[in-house]
A and B are shown apart, each in its own frame.
Chain A
Amino acid sequence: MELFDLTIKEARDGLLKKKFSSRELVSACLDRIKKLEPKLNAFITVCEKEAREQTQIADKKMRDLGDMGDTRELFVRYPLLGIPISVKDNYCTKGIKTTAASHVLMNYIPPYDATVVKRLKEAGTIILGKTNMDAWAHGSSTETSDFFTTRNPWDLTRLPGGSSGGSAASVAAAETIAAVGSETAGSIRQPSAWCGVVGFKPTYGRVSRYGLIAMASSLDCPGPITKTVEDAAIILQTIAGWDSCDATTSPKQVPDFLRIIRNGVRGIKIGIPQKYFSVAETEVAKKVDEAVKILERLGAEIKEISLFDPKYAIAVYTILQRSEVSSNLARYDGIRFGFGRERFADEARRRIMLGTYYLSAGYYEAYYLKAQKVRTIILEDFEQVFKGIDVIVGPTSPSAALSVGSSKNDPMFGEMADVLVEPSTIAGLPGLNLSCGFTKDGLPVGMQIIGPQFSEELLFRVGYAYEQETQWYKMKPKL
């Protein structure tokens, strides 16, 4: 097996057993990046020099500790030592260009690290580079990056999804061992589904947003995009937890996310929302349906549930997100950093203006306040539903990856594509996406598992059981 195809767990094992060094591991990824990037365009910035320097430090740490016993301790202290990871370009990385894929920030170099980046570095991670995204995270295609469109590794004529399209593509194409993305409404789960990888959106407030370029403050969540469910849990373990720099992070203790991951699904009550399936295309619905049957075979109890109509969630999400965006993007005036507002592309300008409109005098009650009230209804709806079940399973996206060009000039493309993830986003719930098969065109289909707030361990457990049974993650795109 090629080094770049390893999972975090396998790479860590190999480093521990001295089968290879971090330098070799990272070199393998950097070479792969060089080979594939001309077709893929997943990266905005590749930090080759910095990454190679970091491998020297990592390898030295491992060498200095001699025998295997000590090295194991080393990995307890630095769980991701020597492991290369790609980071979505909306995370501030000190000294490394951070653009949010926008012309406004095309030359911006932050003077500080985002908390997520800081924690990854403290765990020994090696940052390979910054990945492409829809500019300002406004989109579900990565086609609205101001720079270039990332391609789907499974079919280069298709989109990887978005807004964390670069991160998802880089993992699917094995340009990196793992990645971090961010989700405001589907931006981790949807591109993960389209690229056939694992994407995890934690509970809102589980992971610090400090240093994550804000899109919608009450919705944004940092999260991992990985090859396997266990890898996602490993990364989450490193980045989760209260942060004094983010007043919306939860003081709840971070549990051991791997503790119950192998416990299987016997007795777990899974809710199936019919409305979600009816929105999806036939092939997608069929694949997810098959996955549900497998879960049932594995011992889960399947229950049909009825959820609040997702179409209202679209409206709520659209209003809340754009209102907060209009305010969060007000700081980009070119005075202290970056370029001026004339460099905002159409999508950003549309969202800023709509958000401004929703908040303006005379409209605040009809839009923003109304959306906040319907949000309460959605929250309570989920609370009610979770009284009778443990998790919800459904399709992540109504379709598999769409062709390049699909998102152009549809001002609500993103929102419609994300209809199945928006309700859980609005309620701050965690959601896991993983592959559940392929369409007849060979495109990955993703299913999502949603749980109540702070049920991350349970989601990993259900996902792991299905993953190990079906092993879809072993399929690789032909690149």
Chain B
Amino acid sequence: MSKLKTKAQISKLSQEEVKHIAKLANLALSDSELKKFQSQLSQVLEYVGKLSKVETKGVEPTSQVTGLGNVFREDKVVPSLSQKEILSQVKSSEKGFFKTKAIF
């Protein structure tokens, strides 16, 4: 059972919440940005809160308007990109590997 907040709670975001969202979204925010986004995001949330007025009991959600199903491809190998092409967009690669900062 999810924690469904009341309408009032939903509209206003706390700074803590904004921080948490930014972390989940892998975005670094400065303190001033935190404040700015807090009010802007809350504004949007207030607007979309209107949806709660619409009665949706017994209505199925739509994820796909196409009505398509069972779309597959055969298990055949097709040529890949070359290693050169794959690494062409980075400045630093090492012996054919992509490189990023140390994790451990």
Q: Do A and B come from one complex?
A: yes
Q: A residues bordering B, Cβ < 8 Å?
A: 108-109, 111-112, 204-205, 218, 244, 247-248, 250, 311-312, 314-316, 318-319, 326, 330, 333, 335-338, 341-342, 344, 349-350, 352-354, 356-357, 360-367, 369-377, 379, 411-412, 427-428, 453
B102: CB under 8 A from chain A?
no
B27:A373 contact, CB within 8 angstroms: no
Known contacts A318-B48, A360-B24; is-contact A366 B4 (Cβ 8 Å): yes
A204 to B61, CA, bound (A): 18
A372:B43 contact, CB within 8 angstroms: no
Residues of B within 8 A of A373 (CB): 56, 59-62
B56:A370 contact, CB within 8 angstroms: yes
B95: CB under 8 A from chain A?
no
B65:A379 contact, CB within 8 angstroms: yes
Residue of A311, A314, A341, A357 near B26 (CB, 8 A) is A341
Q: B residues bordering A, Cβ < 8 Å?
A: 2-5, 10, 13, 17-18, 21-22, 24-29, 37, 40-41, 43-45, 47-52, 54, 56, 59-66, 68, 71, 73, 81, 85-86, 88-90, 98, 100
A372:B47 contact, CB within 8 angstroms: no
Expressed in whole angstroms, the minimum distance between the Cβ of B16 and any Cβ of chain A is 13
Residues of A within 8 A of B28 (CB): 341-342
Expressed in whole angstroms, the minimum distance between the Cβ of A439 and any Cβ of chain B is 28
Residue of B5, B51, B98 near A336 (CB, 8 A) is B98
A361 to B21, CA, bound (A): 11
A341:B62 contact, CB within 8 angstroms: no
A108:B65 contact, CB within 8 angstroms: no
Residue of A108, A349, A370 near B89 (CB, 8 A) is A108
Expressed in whole angstroms, the minimum distance between the Cβ of B8 and any Cβ of chain A is 13
Interface Cβ pair total, 8 Å cutoff: 144
Residue of B4, B25, B86, B89 near A353 (CB, 8 A) is B25
Residues of B within 8 A of A363 (CB): 2, 5
B61:A250 contact, CB within 8 angstroms: no
A311:B50 contact, CB within 8 angstroms: yes
Known contacts A344-B27, A349-B37; is-contact A336 B89 (Cβ 8 Å): yes
A108 to B88, CA, bound (A): 10
B51:A111 contact, CB within 8 angstroms: no
B98:A335 contact, CB within 8 angstroms: yes
